[in-house]
């Protein structure tokens, strides 16, 4: 289980950073949210390049999601992991459910939709 943040760098390329909650007390304090929705992503169907549609947390409830970044690197996120999707600008990322099973997610859309560029 872990927390991370995806963001666009100064060139508009999406990357990610692991978030250590002990180093980011603002994450423990909380974020203002406006809604939550649940999703089911079927396995083995890749979603092409896209930025996040909104600043939101995506929490994987079951299954696994592989993210491909513009530099060609890939990262698999599994059940219990939460990602802050701050990459609402730039080229974005590719997404695919892996492991032969659907990926079930809870998405929490944040009130604050101001883009955040770069690592925190």
Number of domains composing the chain: 1
Strands 33-41 and 103-110, sheet pairing: antiparallel
- The CATH number of residue 99's host domain is 2.60.120.10
Structure confidence at residue 102 (pLDDT) = 98
Q: Would you state the pLDDT for residue 1?
A: 64
> One digit per residue, pLDDT tens: the chain, 120 residues?
689 999 999 999 999 999 999 999 999 999 999 999 999 999 999 999 999 999 999 999 999 999 999 999 999 999 999 999 999 999 999 999 999 999 999 999 999 999 899 999
CB 27 within 8 A of CB 3: yes
Is 118 contained in some domain? no
Hey, is 115 helix, strand or coil?
A: coil
Q: The domain containing residue 99 runs over which residues?
A: 3-110
**pTM of the predicted structure, to 2 decimals:** 0.93
Specify if 117 maps to a domain. Answer: no
Choose among 20, 11, 36, 12: nearest CA to 90.
12
């Amino acid at each position: 289980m872990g927390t991370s943040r995806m963001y666009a760098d100064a060139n508009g390329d999406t990357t990610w950073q692991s978030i250590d909650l002990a180093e980011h007390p603002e994450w423990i304090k909380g974020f203002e949210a406006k809604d939550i929705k649940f999703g089911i992503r079927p396995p083995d169907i890749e979603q092409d390049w896209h930025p996040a549609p909104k600043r939101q947390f995506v929490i994987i409830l079951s299954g696994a999601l592989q993210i491909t970044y513009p530099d060609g690197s890939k990262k698999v996120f599994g059940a219990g992991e939460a990602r802050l999707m701050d990459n609402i600008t730039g080229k974005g990322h590719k997404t695919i459910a892996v492991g032969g099973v659907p990926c079930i997610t809870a998405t929490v859309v944040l009130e604050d939709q101001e883009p955040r560029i770069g690592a925190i």
